[in-house]
Amino acid sequence: MHYFDHNSTTPLAPEVATTLSAALRDVYGNPSSTHRAGQLARQRLEHSRRTIAETLHVSPAEIVFTSGGTESNNLAVLGLLRTLPKPAHAVTLAIEHPAVLEPFRQLEHEGVAVTYVKSAECVAAALRDDTILVSLMHANNETGAVQPIDDIAQLVAARRASGQTIYLHSDGVQAFGKIPVDLSHPAVDLYSITAHKIFGPKGIGALFVRKNTPLQRIQFGGRHERERRPGTENVPAAIAFAHSVELATAASIGAMADLRNEFESNLSSRLTDIQINASDSPRLPNTSNILFRGVSSEALVIALDMRQMAVSTGAACSSGSLEPSHVLLAMGLSRDEARSSLRFSFGRYNTSAEIAALTEAVVDSVNKLRRRTSKEARLAG
C-alpha cells in the first residue's frame, strides 16, 4: 500500500514506536504517586511537556495534555466561553474542522451568539463589542490553505488594547510539525495540537493555554494538569509525542513540499480539466486538493485503492457522508465540483518513485472513469 492520506493520520514513526514500546514497559507508575515509580513517571511527563513547549516557544506550564485534537478544541472553545459572562458573541470560520464547529453549535444552545464567516478576511467585519472569542484554524485539513493567523492576532490585540475582553484560539492540528509555529507573541491565547498527524501515536494531544487565560474544565474528576483536565496522564503516549515533535525537522518538511510540487506538475502536464484547489493561497507543504472535472471523487478513491494507493476525499471524520465537503462549498465550488475533488497528503516516508507510481495510477483511473461517464451519458441520451 502506498499511503497518501497523512492529513487523516500518519503511520507511527519506527523511532517513535520504539520509544513508545519502552515507555509502556518501563514507565508504568502513576505520575501523581509519591513513590519512586510515580516520580519517574512525573519526571518523564514533565520532560515531554518541556520538549513540546520549547517547540512552540512557550512555558511548559502553559501546555495541557489531552487525548487529541478534538478534546483540545472542545476544551479551548467550551472551557473559555463557559467562564465568561453572557450574553456573548464568538466568531469562527465556516471551513473549520467539525471538532471546532460542533463545540460552537453547542455554545449556541447555551446562549452564545456565533458568526460563521466564509474567510479570514471577513473576521474584522464580524467583530462586535461583545465578541469574546475568535477561533481560526491555522491550516485547513482538506486544502492545506494556511490562514493569516498573525493578521487576526493583530485585530484581537487592537481590540484588547482598547479594553475589550477578547481571546484568540487556533486549531493547529494540521499546521503543527509542518510549518513553523511560534506562540511567543501574546495574541494567540489557545492553540490545539495532536500527535498522530506528525508520526506519533493516536490518543494524545495538547492544548496551549496562555498564562492568565480563563479556562473552565469540561470534565470532572481529579486535579490533574493544573486542574484543567482531570484524569491520570497518558505518560507513555506523552513521551512518544515529544519524540515525534523532535523528528519534525525543516529537511523533512522541505522534502514533502518537493513531492507535492512534483505530483501537481506531473498531473497538470498530463490531464486536462483539473484544478488545484487553494493553489492561490499559502498552503501546507504536504497537501494537494485537486478537482477532476467529470469524475466522482468517491469512485476515484476506490479505483486508486484497488491499485494500492490510499487517498481520501477529505476529513476522515466525514467519511461516508453523502454531502459534499463544507470546506470546498464555502470556498465557492459548486456541489458537483466539490464531489469531484480529491485530497492527496504526503509524508516524510513517501518517495519520488511513489509519486511517479501515483501519477500513473491517477492519470489512468481518471481517463477510465471519464470514458465510462461519457459512455453512460451517451446511452442515457
> Has residue 200 got a pLDDT over 70?
yes
Q: Are 201 and 23 in contact (CB under 8 A)?
A: no
> What's the start-to-end Cα distance of the chain, in Å?
39
Q: What is the rounded average pLDDT of the residues 101-113?
A: 96
List the beta strands (DSSP E) in 4-138: 63-66, 88-93, 112-117, 131-135
Q: What share of the chain is helix, strand, coil (3-state, %, to 5)?
A: 45, 15, 40
Residue 289 to residue 144: CA distance in whole angstroms? 8
CA angle 228, 176, 152 (to 5 degrees): 80
pLDDT for 375: 77
* Phi/psi of residue 275, nearest 5 degrees: -145, 130
Q: How far apart are CA 39 and CA 24, in angstroms?
A: 16
Give the chain's length.
381
- What average pLDDT does this structure show over 14-34? 97
Q: Kindly report which listed range (5-9, 185-189, 318-322) carries the lowest average pLDDT score.
A: 318-322
Is 14-247 assigned to CATH 3.40.640.10?
Answer: yes
Q: What is the mean pLDDT of the chain?
A: 94
pLDDT digits 0-9 by tens, 63-89? 999 999 999 999 999 999 999 888 899
Q: Of 380 and 277, which is predicted with more confidence? A: 277
What's the pLDDT band for 317 if we cut at 50, 70, 90?
low
Is residue 132 a contact partner of residue 90, using CB atoms and an 8 Å limit? Answer: yes
Give the span between the Cα atoms of 10 and 94, in whole angstroms: 26
Q: Which three cell numbers stand for residue 25?
A: 514497559
Q: Extract long-range pairs of 186-189: CB within 8 Å, 24+ residues apart.
A: 186/157, 186/210, 187/153, 187/154, 187/156, 187/157, 188/149, 188/153, 189/80, 189/213
Report d(CA 27, CA 222) in Å as an integer: 21
Residue 104 has pLDDT above 60, yes or no: yes
Q: What's the burial of 238, exposed, middle or buried (CB within 10 Å: 0-12/13-18/19+)?
A: buried
pLDDT-derived band of residue 379, with 50, 70 and 90 as boundaries?
confident
Closest CA to 216 of 110, 74, 338, 100: 74
Closest CA to 113 of 105, 101, 123: 105
* Domain spans, the chain: 14-247, 249-380
Q: What is the DSSP string of 84-95?
A: S-SSEEEEEETT
pLDDT band at 94 (very low <50, low <70, confident <90, very high): very high
The residue among 79, 113, 248 whose CA lies nearest residue 177 is: 248
Q: From the candidates 155, 257, 317, 363, which is the catalytic residue?
A: 317
Stretch 119-126: mean pLDDT = 96
Grid cell in block for residue 373: 461517464
For the stretch 206-240, pLDDT in tens is 999 999 999 999 889 888 988 899 999 999 999 99
Query: Closest by alpha carbon to 15, among 198, 204, 180?
Result: 198
The 10 Å CB-count burial string (b at 16+, else e) for 8-44 is: bebebbeebbebbeebeeebebebeeeeeeeebbbeb
Q: Is the per-residue pLDDT at 339 higher than 80?
A: yes
Out of 50-59, 252-261, 264-273, which region has the weakest mean confidence (pLDDT)?
A: 252-261
- pLDDT digits 0-9 by tens, 132-179: 999 999 999 999 999 999 999 999 999 999 999 999 999 999 999 999
Check: CB of residue 277 under 8 Å from CB of residue 341.
Answer: yes
User: Measuring CA to CA, which residue among 18, 303, 286, 340 is closest to residue 143?
Assistant: 286
- 317 catalytically annotated: yes
Q: What percent of the chain has pLDDT over 70?
A: 97
Assess whether pLDDT exceeds 60 at residue 321.
Answer: no
At residue 316, the pLDDT reads 53
CATH architecture of 249-380: Alpha-Beta Complex (3.90)
Q: pLDDT band at 381, cuts 50/70/90?
A: low
